[in-house]
Amino acid sequence: MGAADVSVRPFAVDDAAAVQALFIKVNRLLAPENLRDAFERYITDSIDEEIGRVADYYAEKGGGFWVAELAGRVVGMFGLEPSERDGMELRRMYVDPDCRRRGIAGAMLRYAEDRCRDMSFSRLDLSTSEVQPEALAFYRAQGYVQIRDEVVEAASNKTIGGGIRRFHFEKAL
């Protein structure tokens, strides 16, 4: 099964458990040994603030949330919300580690870019961290340009904090 077998669709209430499980799974795998406690706090806080209320959170932000399905199972997800820079920001793009290298991330990213164009946004912003080297390489290969990086100490629903370097990218659509 590959990208042609993947369908991307808007989040539905019945997807909530699968989205939360995928979020937890990926973030626990990303956690460096010395930051496991910080990642667990990040997971809990993000579920409380965002992942546990995906539909409401993204509606309040003026965005949306989508899932990718493969053989009837949620294997990916992402959100879009207006960015601070008059574009859209790609959020929470995750692919189930057991389903990677099948074109799912590419299918989701193309879908996200198309949604931005449909909403008359000419730029997509995103950020990811140093603990995700595959994501960094993927976004660069998709034409995203790094515009800045920062070391983030404070945790939020967008970052773990803990001194992790975060890279910010943009792409003109």
The CATH class of 3-172 is alpha beta
What is the rounded CA–CA span in Å between residue 28 and residue 22? 10
Residue 12, C-beta contacts closer than 8 angstroms, at least 6 positions apart: 67
What are the residue boundaries of the structural domains of the chain, listed by start? 3-172
Q: Where are the beta strands (DSSP E) in the chain?
A: 6-10, 64-70, 73-82, 88-95, 123-129, 145-152, 164-172
Cβ 5 vs Cβ 48: under 8 Å: no
pLDDT tens track for 56-66: 999 999 999 99
pLDDT tens track for 119-160: 999 999 999 998 899 999 999 999 999 999 999 776 665 667
Which pTM was predicted? 0.91
Mean pLDDT of 85-102: 93
Percentage of the chain beyond pLDDT 70 is 93
